[in-house]
Amino acid sequence: MTGRLMSSKVMINLIAQIKMFFRSPGSVFWTVAFPVLLILLFGAIFSGTGSTKYSLYVQDLDGSPISEEFVDALNSTGVLIINKVDPGIDSDQYIKDNSIASFLTIPQGFSSSFLPEPERQNSTLLLRIDNSSSSSGTVATIVNAASQSINLELAGGSIVVSTAILGISNTAQYNFIDFFLPGVIGLTAMTSTVNWMVGLQTRYRQNGIFKKLATTPITQMDWLVSLILWQIATVFMSVVIILAVGILAFDVHLTLDPISIGIIVLSSALFSAMGLIIARFVKDEETAGAAAGAITFPMMFLAGSFFPLESMPPYLAAIAKAMPLTYVNNGLRDSMIYANTAGAINNLLIVAMLTVVFMVVGAAISTWKQE
């Protein structure tokens, strides 16, 4: 079987495609530069840099001069933008409605922690933060530091004011970049293979190379096998680059286990086949890019590459269920960040099934023959 699969014709075409790939700046862009740009761009937007300020919503239930002074102290760190929230508001509802990432509640009786002994009473600041927001760690550190300094000043280090931290969304133990990277991998596996396949198939059909190939003993199958093998290899190049950038620039913690590797291999084949199918309906090379984009762009946004599906309105989430990329993304997240093996295998099986279907259809409708 492998002997048949790796016939000399497959090897020759594979080597030729590799040479041409590295001689063409366009294909290198989609494989290397595109995912790196995505990570850096989104990384910068969502994790912020040193000069960025973080929003903190503060609900002061104490309403005393002392609590106000504490808020001023937080403000004077220069890192936080303090938004005061009316004490009468239901905080849980407010956080939900406004998608707030950091919410601090100053309890009633906070000022009594500042009374001299023996009236002094301990109090607890309640900080609710969304752990998937990349600013959460910074905010928690600042609030903690502020309460620590009160403790030092008032009680020589023994705890009078403590901070309780609650997660806003209880699934989140990872940060945004951790969540985002598997999405970038799925996205790159899709865009680079679909674009490359559609462009290449359309170009060769149009400029007569397929006609010339049809006069030689290379078969349609040899051709497709070598292209798909090469696409798997390019996707792995992308994965290595994506992980390297993620680790170096954002200190991500992801595992590349056999399941995620399996999903990556299958998705490369799946999206190559999708490219074959799209190419069949594209007339000329000029429209190839547009056709590839018309399919990949909506998928990119709807299949949860950038945002969790749970945060989408239900009708969009329903559409997402119909998109192969959704299962690639879910499977990669299950295996790479959540360590959810059962979920990962489930998605792997769905991706495998879709791959078979797309490959069969793709191979069946691709032809070198003319009427």
Partner 1 sequence: MAESVITVQGLVKRYGDLTAVDHIDFEVYRGEVFSMLGPNGAGKTTTVEIMECLRTKTEGDVTILGMDIERKVRDIKKRIGVLPQDFNAFDLLTVKENIEYFGGMFKHQLPADDLIETVNLGEKRDVYFKNLSGGLKQRVGVAISMVNDPDIIFLDEPTTGLDPVARREVWEVIKDLKSKGKTIILTTHYMEEAEVLSDRVGIIDRGKFITMGSPNDIIDRYGTGTTMIVRGGDDTALQRLQGLSSKVERKGNDIVVRLDSKDVLPEAIMRIHEEGVHYEEVQMRRSTLEDVFLTLTGKRLENGEEVKKGKRVKK
Q: Which residues contact partner 1 by CB under 8 A?
A: 8-9, 12-13, 16, 19-20, 23-24, 207-209, 211-218, 369-371
Calpha distance 124→136 (Å, rounded): 19
Residue nearer to ligand ATP on the CB measure, 8 or 370: 370
Query: How far from chain centre, in Å, is Cα 10?
Result: 35
CB of 248 to ligand ATP, least distance (A): 54
Q: CB under 5 to 8 A by kind: which of ligand ATP, partner 1, none does 214 bind? A: partner 1
Q: Six-digit token pair at 370?
A: 């003319």
Tell me the one-letter amino acid at 133.
Answer: S
Phi first, then psi: what are they for 49, rounded to 5°?
A: -125, 180
Residue nearer to partner 1 on the CB measure, 207 or 341: 207
Question: CB-based contacts of 337: which residues, under 8 Å, 6+ apart?
Answer: 174, 178, 179, 182, 254
Question: CB-based contacts of 269: which residues, under 8 Å, 6+ apart?
Answer: 228, 231, 232, 355, 359
CB of 13 to partner 1, least distance (A): 8
Please, are residues 107 and 129 in contact by the beta-carbon 8 Å criterion?
Answer: no
Q: CB under 5 to 8 A by kind: which of ligand ATP, partner 1, none does 2 bind? A: none
Q: CB under 5 to 8 A by kind: which of partner 1, ligand ATP, none does 4 bind? A: none
Calpha distance 97→26 (Å, rounded): 44
Can you give the length of the chain in residues? Answer: 371
Residue nearer to partner 1 on the CB measure, 158 or 215: 215
Beta-carbon count within 10 A of 302 CB: 19
Q: CB under 5 to 8 A by kind: which of ligand ATP, partner 1, none does 217 bind? A: partner 1
Residue nearer to ligand ATP on the CB measure, 4 or 212: 212
Positions touching ligand ATP (CB under 6 A) are 370-371
Residue at shortest CB range from ligand ATP: 371
Residue nearer to partner 1 on the CB measure, 54 or 210: 210
Residue nearer to ligand ATP on the CB measure, 155 or 214: 214
Question: CB-based contacts of 120: which residues, under 8 Å, 6+ apart?
Answer: 112, 113, 114, 154, 155, 160
CB of 29 to partner 1, least distance (A): 15
Please, are residues 260 and 341 in contact by the beta-carbon 8 Å criterion?
Answer: no
Residue nearer to partner 1 on the CB measure, 56 or 225: 225
Q: CB under 5 to 8 A by kind: which of ligand ATP, partner 1, none does 207 bind? A: partner 1
| 16 DSSP β-pair partners | none
Q: CB under 5 to 8 A by kind: which of ligand ATP, partner 1, none does 218 bind? A: partner 1
Q: CB under 5 to 8 A by kind: which of partner 1, ligand ATP, none does 159 bind? A: none
